[in-house]
Amino acid sequence: MKKIGLYLFTNDLRINDNTLLHQASQLVDELLCIVVEPRLSTYSVRLSQEQENGAHRHLFIEQAIDDLALSLARLGQRLFVLERNTSEDLVQLVKSQQVTHFFASSHCAHGERQLIKDTLTQCPGLFLSQQHHTTLFESDAFPFELTKLPRSFTKFRLQVERLEINTEGSVIAYLPPAPQTATYPYRKPILEPEVSDTVDYVGGETAGLIHLENYFSNDYAGTYKQTRNALDGIENSTKFSPWLALGCVSPTTIYRHLKQFEAHRGANDSTYWIYFELLWREYFYWKCLTLGTSLFGRFSNDLPNEHSLDTTSGSSFVNWKSGNTNYPIVDACMRQLNATGYMSNRGRQLVASCLIHELGIDWRHGAAYFESQLIDYDVASNWGNWAYIAGALNSQAAQNANKQNAANQSQSKSRHFDLVKQTEMYDPEHAFINKWHRDDKASASILYQDVI
């Protein structure tokens, strides 16, 4: 009997270092390659009060999908796009194409896991192959059960940071063809994406790998620890996050480049610190997997709707989103986000702290707005960091679905930044503030010319 595979691309939009795709290429006679375009969830539409993903995030995703389609075409394959994130369309495809093998990244997010579960329930007998291949580690390498995941980052880091990481990486030279009968409407003609050899936020594996090469061919990694907190500047933090978020570049590929950099130019505190930050990403990934929907502060009796903000906090939220709070450092960061789809880690901490403490708005509204705008939006890192700043990440109350307790708990453990002091530390000359108080469009276009 012919083996027909379906590969579902989600947070792994790449060909290189994709062990699951490699496995599919070895196992089946024909292969359907499917991608589900990420949409803003109904929950986040309500909380963010945005109808859909922002323009920068949307474009970055489109570019990443185009690039994947092009790479697959070079291997004689085709990429089919499902516009709805529901099991109905998947089930229909599995049945009509008589799919026998199903390959999908083991996602940490509840929604994506449910999609696979629902598809399998309706297609019994389907062979499922899954891997956590957007992380540095597989969970079976951990010296603890996932149910006993350490509560704090430090405890997690100390137990995992010396584990071996497989840096071999797989290369795919061949893919089985798509079934002849596959007639699911193709999204649009594949266009050669415009990828320059300068650093830029262009979506896709091709641009991501160019960025990685550029970053490590300079000396930036050797001074990362001193520069990572800067509010701006491509030479400061790595800017790997946009490509990591969609899986255009895998963390193990980054780790391999980091080790090569250390071998040629020497290891120091800064090179270690890049690994340290990747471990934060890892921590939030596994935290998201174990927390399920409670990561989103999503309680069965507590689904906020568009009326959950009263008039005062409603207009504060609108001002926060557009960068008009009158806290100059916060406004500059929010304008940078709106103009580019990116914001520094320091900036994210400051605007989150402002939303929660200065404006008194429920953190979930801020998290959902970030979800709609960030080109590096990652479910675990975004909702995990917001919950962490709000003091809700490890809150038993949050997990037990009790809003009042959760609010009390978050008061006691949340992180509150002094915006004046932070401005003195990170923007003493107000260069960043002045830059983003110019016309947004003009500012966006000079972002990179300034620093290259």
Ligand X SMILES: Cc1cc2nc3c(=O)[nH]c(=O)nc-3n(C[C@H](O)[C@H](O)[C@H](O)COP(=O)(O)OP(=O)(O)OC[C@H]3O[C@@H](n4cnc5c(N)ncnc54)[C@H](O)[C@@H]3O)c2cc1C
Q: What distances in angstroms separate CA 7 from CA 102, 130, 170, 309, 380, one per listed residue? A: 6, 10, 17, 41, 23
Determine how many CB atoms are found less than 10 A away from the CB of residue 298: 18
Name the minimum Å distance from CB 153 to ligand X: 9
- Closest CB to ligand X among residues 70, 352: 352
The smaller minimum CB distance to ligand X, of residues 348 and 435, is found at 348
Q: Are 33 and 4 in contact (CB under 8 A)?
A: no
Nearer to ligand X, 104 or 244 (CB): 244
For ligand X, give the closer residue by CB, 22 or 211: 211
CA atoms within 13 A on the CB side of 265: 17
> For residue 47, which of 376, 355, 402 has the smallest C-alpha distance?
355
Residue whose CB is less far from ligand X, 11 or 382: 382
**CA torsion sign, 128 to 133 to 138 to 139?**
negative
Minimum distance between the CB of residue 212 and ligand X, rounded to whole angstroms? 11
Provide, rounded to whole angstroms, the least separation between the CB of residue 365 and ligand X: 12
The distance of closest approach from Cβ of residue 256 to ligand X in the complex, given in angstroms and rounded to an integer, is: 15
Q: Give whichever of 118 and 235 is closer to ligand X, judged by the CB atom.
A: 235
The residue type found at 82 is: L
Cα 24 to Cα 18, 141, 428, distances in angstroms: 10, 23, 54
Q: Would you tell me which residues interact with ligand X (CB under 6 A)?
A: 228, 237-241, 244-245, 274, 277-278, 280-281, 284, 344-345, 348-349, 352, 370, 374, 376-378, 381-382, 385-386, 389
Interatomic CA distance for residues 203 and 47, integer angstroms: 26
- Quick check: helix, strand or coil at residue 54? coil
CB of 383 to ligand X, least distance (A): 8
Smallest distance, Å, CB 40 to ligand X?
A: 13
Residue (9 or 215) nearer to ligand X, CB: 215
Distance, CA of 292 to CA of 305 (rounded, Å): 21
Residue 152 Cβ, how far from ligand X at the closest point, in Å?
Answer: 14
Q: Give 25 or 349: the residue with its C-beta nearer to ligand X.
A: 349
Residue 321 near residue 372, CB atoms below 8 Å = no
Contacts of 9 (CB under 8 A, 6+ apart): 33, 34, 35, 36, 68, 79, 105
Q: Which is nearer to ligand X, 80 or 284 (CB)?
A: 284
How far apart are CB 367 and ligand X at their closest, in Å? 7
Q: Is 344 helix (H, G, I), strand (E, B) or coil?
A: coil
Whichever of 345 and 402 has its CB closer to ligand X, that residue is: 345
Phi, psi of 64 (to 5 degrees): -65, -40
Nearest distance, CB of residue 250 and ligand X, angstroms: 11
DSSP 292: G
Which residues are CB-contacts of 173 (< 8 A; sequence separation ≥ 6)?
Answer: none
Helix (H, G, I), strand (E, B) or coil at 385: helix
d(CA 165, CA 264): 19
What's the half-sphere exposure (Cβ side, CA atoms, 13 Å) at 261? 26
Least distance to ligand X, CB of residue 298, Å = 17
